[in-house]
């Protein structure tokens, strides 16, 4: 579809065929570089949204092995192929192990002393992005396992962003695509 832009430049929205041609034919394998970790999820829909962002930026998703999570991922995942999902039995233990092997553990949270999103550089190495529970945020016992925290500044009346929106913004920044 073509439309005349104010400056007189024609804008052509990419067609589905253009987009298909520009995309991978298969899902990326596990790059083990960026891992979005909503480890205390409440709403399944947010997991599906995060999975799509992970596919878009070449990240993996780490989720807790809770009985309802596989079905929530199946329902929320509108991608045609399998994405990279890491299953976590014990979130704090998993974070401690990742940290011990040299992975940076970056919390996404509204926290004092947090780095502002605009100042967050592209991830220099393997990074786990910890996202909090939709109502209570990152649990206190996990806060001690974070190397750093990033905050997305807000000027509206809402207390916080949707967790999938917050995770997606940070993933794009870490991937150097945003």
Ligand X SMILES: C[S@@+](CC[C@H](N)C(=O)[O-])C[C@H]1O[C@@H](n2cnc3c(N)ncnc32)[C@H](O)[C@@H]1O
Could you list the residues that contact ligand X (CB under 6 A)?
108-110, 131-132, 134, 136-138, 151-152, 154, 160-161, 163, 166
Give which of 122, 112, 135, 152 is closest to 46, Cα–Cα: 135
- In terms of CB distance, is 30 or 42 closer to ligand X? 42
- By beta-carbon proximity to ligand X, the closer residue of 96 and 161 is 161
Q: Kindly state the smallest distance separating residue 22's Cβ from ligand X, in Å.
A: 31
Distances (CA, A) of 141 to 5, 91, 105, 167: 52, 10, 14, 20
Question: Nearest approach, Cβ of 106 to ligand X (angstroms)?
Answer: 11
Of 27 and 135, which CB lies nearer to ligand X in the complex structure?
135
Residues 6+ apart with CB under 8 A from 90: none
Nearer to ligand X, 85 or 131 (CB): 131
Would the CA dihedral through 156, 160, 165, 168 be positive or negative? positive
Q: Which two tokens stand for residue 70?
A: 């596989």
Least distance CB 156 / ligand X (angstroms) = 10
Q: Closest residue to ligand X, Cβ-based?
A: 132
């Amino acid at each position: 579809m073509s439309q005349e832009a104010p400056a007189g430049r024609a804008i052509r929205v990419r067609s589905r065929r253009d987009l298909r041609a520009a995309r991978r034919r298969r899902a990326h394998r596990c790059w083990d570089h960026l891992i979005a970790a909503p480890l205390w999820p409440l709403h399944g829909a947010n997991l599906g949204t995060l999975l799509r962002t992970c596919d878009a930026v070449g990240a993996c998703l780490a989720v807790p092995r809770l009985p309802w999570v596989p079905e929530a991922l199946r329902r929320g995942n509108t991608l045609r192929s399998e994405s990279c999902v890491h299953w976590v039995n014990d979130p704090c233990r998993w974070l401690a192990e990742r940290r011990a092997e040299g992975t940076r553990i970056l919390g996404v949270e509204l926290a004092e002393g947090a780095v502002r999103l605009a100042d967050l550089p592209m991830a220099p190495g393997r990074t786990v992005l910890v996202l909090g529970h939709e109502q209570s945020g990152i649990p206190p016992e996990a806060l001690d396992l974070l190397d750093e925290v990033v905050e997305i500044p807000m000027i509206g009346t809402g207390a916080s962003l949707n967790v999938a929106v917050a995770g997606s913004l940070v993933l794009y920044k870490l991937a150097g695509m945003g």
